Amino acid sequence: MGRWFFILCMAMGESTYAQADAATAQQLLEASDAIRNPARPFSLTTTLIEFRDGQQTGTNTLTVYSKEDPASGQFNSLVRFDAPLRDANKLVLKNANDLWFYDPNSQASVRISPQQRLLGQAANGDVVTVNFAKDYTAVLAGDEDVVGGDHKSQHSYKLKLTARSPSVTYHAIEMWINTENRKPVKARFYAESGKLLKTTYYRKFTEVLGADRPTETVIIDGLDPSWVTLMRYSDYAWRDIPDEWLQRSYLPHFKAN
């Protein structure tokens, strides 16, 4: 009786620890999300710059309008292409887990995959605003020193994220979050096969819209480290974003004011 009671207590203790650990991991992820994403509707300019073997090979400039859906806690986003000129005024809409691409020349909107590449290693799902805590379940995998985007070592929590739905951009993510300030440091993104797709570093934190946020993300290809994409964020602003902007039916009528 005493032996089985001891085993039962141990099992209950481990279960309680696991639940507390999961809660802590999810809270860490939520805190990191809050640093990446403003809490109110906003817009920003995202510049994508692709490098191959250190040489710049392509550039895209986008304006992103994002607004949190109060029902899901996830962001809906409208992305307008500004440059190059051949792509100007094309749109990408993220509404819930659906992504749509709209070309004003054909006036047609087609559903697209969040995994589809936009430029270099930046996928459609990378340029819209995402709360990872809403799409992934986090588990704390320990803490360790890791070199961040500023080439300095940072003591960080390591989280393992598992997708809650097959419709999200990545099947699994490893993320490192600074233990002192909860800033995102580094992330690795995986396909369902377990293949490493890319490694991302968050850097150049700057005070914008009420928080110290990363204004650059460096994305390195999982197989070819000489293939690098820089995502640069600028022109942050609080915006009044009408709900109709975030509807597929409104895409042909969209005009930013």
Report the CATH number at residue 187: 2.50.20.10
Strand partners, 154: 146
Q: Is residue 8 part of a domain?
A: no
* 228 CB burial (10 A radius; 0-12, 13-18, 19+): buried
Structural domain total, the chain: 1
Put simply, whether the predicted model's pTM sits higher than 0.85 gets the answer: yes
Give the residue numbers spanning the domain of 153.
34-253
Say if CB 199 and CB 186 are below 8 A apart: yes
Percentages helix, strand, coil for the chain (3-state, rounded to 5) are 20, 50, 30
Q: Is residue 15 part of a domain?
A: no
Q: Is residue 226 part of a domain?
A: yes
pLDDT tens-digit readout, 199-255: 999 999 999 999 999 999 999 999 999 999 999 999 999 999 999 999 999 999 998
- DSSP reduced 3-state for 4: helix
Q: Is residue 28 part of a domain?
A: no
Say if CB 201 and CB 226 are below 8 A apart: no
Q: What share of the chain has pLDDT > 90, as a percent?
A: 77
Q: Is residue 1 part of a domain?
A: no
Mean pLDDT over each residue of the chain, to the nearest integer? 90
Q: Is residue 13 part of a domain?
A: no
Q: Is residue 11 part of a domain?
A: no
Beta strand extents in 151-243 (DSSP E only): 153-163, 172-178, 184-190, 196-208, 211-221, 227-238
Q: Is residue 58 part of a domain?
A: yes
